Every structure is written in structure tokens, then in C-alpha cells.
Structure 1
């Protein structure tokens, strides 16, 4: 019996519905992408052509992003447009453009992009990834509180100098034998921010704290894994699937639990009249009437974690690069030690006041930061309104990265851009500031802890070279190869710290 037309259409659809649906969906997506490109302002910045839907996603090497990006910059110029699935972003290269977006248009590019993997972890809270009034209130409170507890004052300098003594004793215990300096340096640097946020330091042999530092290190590495990048594309699907992104979430929960336990202890012992650290000060703020909505106990956890991460990872990584460069450039190490012996000697500890009389040591610290290149594209920003950069149209919501790798290796700015050379920061034997040196960024969202980091780098670095000469282990070739994570760190290495005989 023949089917009527009315019955035939559902019958055909039932037999081929899935295939038709997938084909129709693909056609709609491709057509939407095509029409979107047609509607695009013709004055967008130049960039590599992308695929429908995926954009330039498959062209990026997420393990070595700066290598890929430098190729594109060389081909397309100092302002580069790319698309990753649904996210547009631009990368600017060169000091004039970096100053334009971070300083001149600082209020336009003041927000952080809402990246799914970071939203899953930080919920748009804390100090680093928050935006708007929430960010302004939390940053203002954090700066005020850090200053109250010694930021920029001699009290905090004294804490760093005391910690340097503990670090020297810990390294002396190695008796000149090869050792991995990673976690002992991590512990020393972390103890400074811990003393401000938690009110106490942690012993280097504290297994629980050592495990916590390893968890932090693992979180930084996991964030750049491909599963986490895939989570940024398909968050609603990936959150139900197994993979290293789930390990990332579990590790971050461990860190949250640690901070929550510390906060609980602080609440039990709190004296509102005499807050001892950042957590005490925040809890005191929570007890006030009419405080801003952003002040709550959950945000205290995120702000504390931000301070802990930022106050540990970048400075610790820079110091590890510093010891590696000293072992690879013994003649430079010798010049630094000669200056230390002349200005400070062996009987006194270095102080920040000594820095003015130690231009070569100061220059070497800056050169470690330049060559270490630990945050190659800065922390990303996002345009809050439509704007133009270098005459090109940049729509609201576009993510911005600034190419610090190219800036710090620009042959027009640096005499030997690929070589470790403290002379880059010297002129006629005196320290010379360089405008093209921006490891802490610039503008309203520049690094909150820049002043602390500068003090830690000078005091720890100088104290270590005052007491030890760093050498490669016998029959070992040290490498400057990079371990890619959220920051660019040296590959794990062992080094010998030979006590200096005076």
C-alpha cells in the first residue's frame, strides 16, 4: 500500500534523522562562520587565516606558545589577530604598542578575560582574575594590608634577611654535593608571603608544606595541558569527562582546603584589636557593617591563594634561573662576588641600602629576569569597550596579550639579546634603568607584589652568592632548556653550592 506524502516525510526523517541533523548542523555552523567573517569589520588587525569554528586553534602549540607566536608576528606584524573557537584575541609587540594598550588605554584593557578553566577554579574572585568593583575593592584592601604588615618597610626586609639565613644553612647542609634547589628555594620565598598572609613560616623539612608546594607546582603545569585547553572550548562536556583537568580541580581543592583550615584556626584565635596578618585583617573587615559585597569568607580563600601563588612561584622561578646562569657563566659570578666582597664583605648581611652601591649585582638580577622570560605574554587582559589599536578595530570582549618575549629579546633594544649579559643594564659602570624591561607589567593591573619581589630577588640572590659559588656537578652539562607551564621555568637540575673560603 502506498504511503501518503503526509506519512512519507516522517518516515524518511526517522530513518535519516541523525545524519540529517549532523549535516544540517555542520552547514549552519559553517554558514554562520562565513557570514560572521563577511560582517567582520574590514579593518581588523592582520593574522593567519583560520578554519571554520576552530579558528586558529590547531595552529597553536600550547606547549611552546611563544615559538608559534613569534613566527606569526614575523609574518603579520606587531599587532596580530587570531581566533580560538569563539574567542578573538590580539597580541601586540613592541614597546610603543605595549605602552598604548597597558598605559594609554589602561582603562579600556583593564579586565581579565573570563576563561572557562579559570572560572571553574577561581569563580571570577580573588585578586588576579577578578574584574570591576570586586577587583578594585579587593586590590585596594590587599595593598593597604600588605603595607600595614611591612611592604616597603624595614620590617619586611628584616624577614627576608632572616629567611636568607635559614636558606643558607639549608644549602650548607648539602656539603657541596649536587642537589636540586627547587623546593628549598620555593620554601624560602614562600615563607615571606606566608609570614604576611598566615602569620608564620614553615620549616624546610615540614613534609606537609613540602607536599603543598609540590601541589602548587603541579597545578601550574597542569593548566597548560591539552585537556585544560579543550576544557576552555567545551566546558559543559569536559567537566564530565576524565583527564588531567580533573586532576587539576582535585589539586586546587587541596589548596583551598589548606587555606580554609588556616582561616578556621585564625577565627578561633582572632584578636580584632591586634590583627597579626592578612587573614586576621580580612576577618576583622568581615565583622564591620556596610562592607562591600565582595568581602566574604570564600573570597578570603581566593585572595589568600592568589597572594600565595603570586608570592611564591614567580620569584622562586627567577631565583632558580639565577643560580643556573651563575653556574653557566662563572666569570660573571666572579664579578658579582668581587663586588659583594668589596661593598659588604663576609661579616655583614646584605641590605636593600647596599643595592645603590652594587650596580653590577643589580644589573645581573635584572638580566636574570630578562633572560628567564618567565611570563612571556604577560597576564591576559580584555577590552571592555570597542576601541582601535594602531588604527585597527578591536571589538569589546577581545582578549589582549602583550609580547614580552619579543620586547626582552629585541635586537634594537639589547646589544646581545640572546646572551646573558649584565652590561645591558649598565652605563659607564652605573646601573641603568631600561624602558623596554617590563617583567612586572605596567598600568593599573601591574604586579601587586612588585616591590616585594624586587627586594626578595636582590636580598636572596646577593646572600647566596656571598656565601657560595655555584657550579655544575662534575661531568654534567647544565641546560637552559625551558619547562613549559603557567610560568617558564628551567628544567629540573642539580647544582653544587661550594662554600666560599675567605
Structure 2
């Protein structure tokens, strides 16, 4: 028995040594970075999280391009505006892939638009962009839908009669109904149990993707799915979302009067391309596309709006200036349109600064090199994961005068006119930039301005300080809080 134990220990030690030596050989062909350990890589140093503080520390030591190891997998990180811009645009086609590790397959099966690759991704993305235009994104019809949801949100807050309220559910409801109208063709009531299950599922899936459970699943999927609570919740939530979305798809098939929404257009495309051998339009991709659009179209915009309200409470002088500009230009009741931003330079600057300062997506979704390439002078082999540190761009001291302060002046010139900043990249950059950017801009502007037109936001009585420390997850959420919406 002792001999067997000794043999097993020696075998394990030999395997670890071989892995370590293999990692050392790979290190010499990659950008510099901390030495990885067998089994863990740099995960112990990172505390099993890709956190911007850790990335900033690494950049100060190794430069604006460096390599981290997630277990035995090397990941090249781009830090700061110049590195991100050059890395994502100089060889855009080469870094347009998505890694399909076991954990990402667990989430998407390689379908849809968010984590697909090659011909499938290009066809699904092209269809998505064209369909969003057909559905009126950027046109008056889409603005009307956003105005309607903003009106429902105002009514909900009016009914609180100035009492403390947690804005999470009503704000998420308004934003998710915009994307639901676009892809499903209808909205949910705020009491709808299906809606509440969808929102809960989005939270569970988001929490899983930047947790220890994610990395454990990637190496030991059976153990993770059987024993880790967060992994089991994510799996249950994925099943819940897919089941609800498949119900919606089946209900569309039964309609005979046409479906003027994303699902309807996709079903039409499936029927048209049945004989096309190169077509990737099928039920699996439809379900995953709807899944991706709902996930991306709800989480990020709703979280940004929650930060917007919290910052208005934290910076009452900014809120007062927004009120004055809105009153002077639009009055107290006119519907807000996206074109109004041209006459509201300060308010427009505040919205941009909310996006910059809250920076809810610290790290953009990972890229993947589809062929051998070069990034910032370093040869990067095919099948290498590349991470873009968006936080380092939106807080780059070489691009922002006061990167660590909430300062709408970042987007204003000396005469008070709105100015665009090249380092404002909350929607990422390159071939994988967010396809819902225009819709998100419309929602943020119309809903924020409508709320500011209707209310003054304050702390509840007895609460003296505003906590603006983010809760670390896939998106950086505000801490749990309540505020009061006082009708103006």
C-alpha cells in the first residue's frame, strides 16, 4: 500500500513539474507577467477574480501589455487607452474571436452572437444589426417605446409618494421591457412572475461568470455542477431562461398575422434559408440570440441608470444644474427625444460622466486570436485569450484630467459645449464592440432626462452618507440602497 502511495505521489509531482516546465516555455514567447504556479497559474495572486485593482498593480510592474495565467491558460491583458486602441484596431480581424472554454460552452454552447465564432458569428451579428434597424432602433418608433417605459417608471415612483424605495426592480423592469418589446413583441407587467424569474436568472448568471465557481467549472465541471451552489444556481437559471424564451418562440410560431419583432424576423429568415447550405439560422441560434440580447440589453443599461440616480443623490449640485438646464430648454412636461441632447450639453455631459465614472464593465468580454498576430510589438500565437481592461481606459490619467473624480467637465469645453472624448469607450472597440450601443444610448438619455424632469432624488430621512462603493460582479453594481423620488 505504501509503495502505491509513493508511486502516486511521484506521478503527481512529475505531472506538476511537466506542466510547470511547459508553462515556462510558453512564457518566453508571450508578453511579460508574474510567474505562474502549477494548477493555479496566477489565480491565487488574483484571489480568483479578474479585478481592476490587481490588473493595475500588474501593469505598474510589467507595462501596458502583460500576461496572466488562469490555471494553465495564458491570458494577454491590454491596459490603458493607447494599448487598447492599438491592440483592438491594428489587427482587428485577428483578435475578433471568442474563447470557447468549457465554462463558456456551459453558458452558450457556442451558439448565438455573444460567444460564437467564424462564419456563424458573422452571419448572426449581421442579421442582428440589420434586424435592429428594421425594428426602428434609432428611429422615432423606438423612441416612443422608450418614452412609454419611462412614463411607466415615473408613475411607479410617483406612487411611492416620496417614501424610500429601492430603485432596482422598477428600473430593471423599464429597461428590460424595452428589449422585450424589441425581441419578444410585448412588455411584462412589474408583477409578472415570468419577468421576476428572468431578472433573477440574469443576476445568477452574471454572478457566476466572475466567481471562483466559474474557474472550478472550467477544470472540474462535474464537481462544480454537483457541489458548488453558485454553479448550480447558474445552471438552473440558464434552464429557466431558455425554457421561458422557447415558450415565446413557440407562441410566435402559432401566430398567423405576422410578428414584427426579432423572433418573428428570425423565424422568417429560417424559413427563407432552409435550402441554403451555408445558413446558420436555426432554433438553437435563435434561442441563444434572444438569450444574449436579453442578458446584454438588460443588465448593463439598468445598472448604469441605477448608478445615475445614486450619483444624483451623492452630487446634489450636479442634480440641480441638470434640473435648471432641463427646465430652461424643455420645460417640465415635454416628451424627451434623443435629438434634445444637442440642446442639453450639461445633461449630456453628466450622462457620459456617469458611464465613465461608474464603468460597470471593468473588463470587456474576452477576445481570442484566430490566427498568429502581433500586439504592441509582441508576437501572440493563435488561440490566445486577450482581455481588454476598459476601466484602465476610462480612468487613464493621460486622457482624463481628474480620472478618480466624478466630473461632468470632462465632456465640456471652456464655453460649456459638449465635446466627445476619444478615450470614452464604455461599449468597447473593434469588431466585437457592443451591437446594442445605439439602443443603450437612447435608453440612458431618454429615461434619465425623463426622471430628472419629474423628480428630485434625495436620501431617506436619517441617512447621512451615500455609499458609492461598487459590488464586484460581472457588472459593477451599486451597493443596496434606498432613495426618495420627490415630485417637482
TM over 0.5: yes
Contact 1:409 1:418 in 2 (8 A): yes
Query: What SS does structure 1 have at the residue aligned with 2:486?
Result: strand
Contact 1:66 1:405 in 2 (8 A): yes
Q: Corresponding residue for 2:141? A: 155
1:313-332 to structure 2, matched below 5 A, reads: 313-332=299-318
The answer to whether residue 216 in structure 2 is matched with residue 216 in structure 1 is: no
228-237 vs 449-458, which moves further? 228-237
The answer to whether residue 261 in structure 2 is matched with residue 251 in structure 1 is: no
The answer to whether residue 476 in structure 2 is matched with residue 488 in structure 1 is: yes
Which of 478, 485, 488 is 2:466 aligned to? 478
Query: What SS does structure 1 have at the residue aligned with 2:477?
Result: strand
The answer to whether residue 486 in structure 2 is matched with residue 498 in structure 1 is: yes
Contact 2:23 2:72 in 1 (8 A): no
Q: Corresponding residue for 1:454? A: 441
Q: Deviations over 1:374-431 (max 9, x none)?
A: 1111111011122222222222111111121122112222121111110000002110
452-461 vs 14-23, which moves further? 14-23
Contact 2:201 2:237 in 1 (8 A): yes
Query: What SS does structure 1 have at the residue aligned with 2:402?
Result: coil
Q: CA deviation at 1:64?
A: 6.4
Q: CA deviation at 1:15?
A: 5.6
1:296-335 to structure 2, matched below 5 A, reads: 296-335=282-321
Contact 2:312 2:457 in 1 (8 A): yes
321-330 vs 202-211, which moves further? 202-211
Which structure is larger by alpha-carbon Rg, 1 or 2? 1
Q: Corresponding residue for 1:145? A: 131
Contact 2:249 2:263 in 1 (8 A): yes
Q: Distance in 2 between matches of 1:394 and 1:301?
A: 34
The answer to whether residue 277 in structure 2 is matched with residue 279 in structure 1 is: no
Contact 1:61 1:68 in 2 (8 A): no
Query: What SS does structure 2 have at the residue aligned with 1:400?
Result: strand
1:165-176 to structure 2, matched below 5 A, reads: 165-176=151-162
Q: Deviations over 1:3-34 (max 9, x none)?
A: xxxxxxxxxxx762243033223213313421
Query: What SS does structure 1 have at the residue aligned with 2:254?
Result: helix
63-72 vs 177-186, which moves further? 63-72
Q: Distance in 2 between matches of 1:205 and 1:481?
A: 30
1:65-76 to structure 2, matched below 5 A, reads: 65-76=51-62
The answer to whether residue 401 in structure 2 is matched with residue 415 in structure 1 is: yes
Distance 1:333 1:32, change over 3 A: closer
Equivalenced residue count is 484
Q: Corresponding residue for 2:275? A: 290
The answer to whether residue 181 in structure 2 is matched with residue 195 in structure 1 is: yes
Give TM-score scaled by structure 1 length.
0.93
Contact 1:256 1:305 in 2 (8 A): yes
The answer to whether residue 359 in structure 2 is matched with residue 362 in structure 1 is: no
The answer to whether residue 27 in structure 2 is matched with residue 60 in structure 1 is: no
Root-mean-square deviation (CA), in Å? 1.6
Contact 1:270 1:280 in 2 (8 A): no
Query: What SS does structure 1 have at the residue aligned with 2:471?
Result: strand
Distance 1:35 1:87, change over 3 A: closer
5+ long unaligned stretches in structure 1:
1-13
Query: What SS does structure 1 have at the residue aligned with 2:284?
Result: helix
Q: Distance in 2 between matches of 1:36 and 1:418?
A: 37
Q: Distance in 1 between matches of 2:22 and 2:237?
A: 42
Query: What SS does structure 2 have at the residue aligned with 1:80?
Result: strand
Q: Distance in 2 between matches of 1:40 and 1:247?
A: 36
Q: CA deviation at 1:293?
A: 4.2
Query: What SS does structure 1 have at the residue aligned with 2:426?
Result: coil
Q: Corresponding residue for 2:10? A: 23
Distance 1:207 1:40, change over 3 A: closer
Contact 1:383 1:396 in 2 (8 A): yes
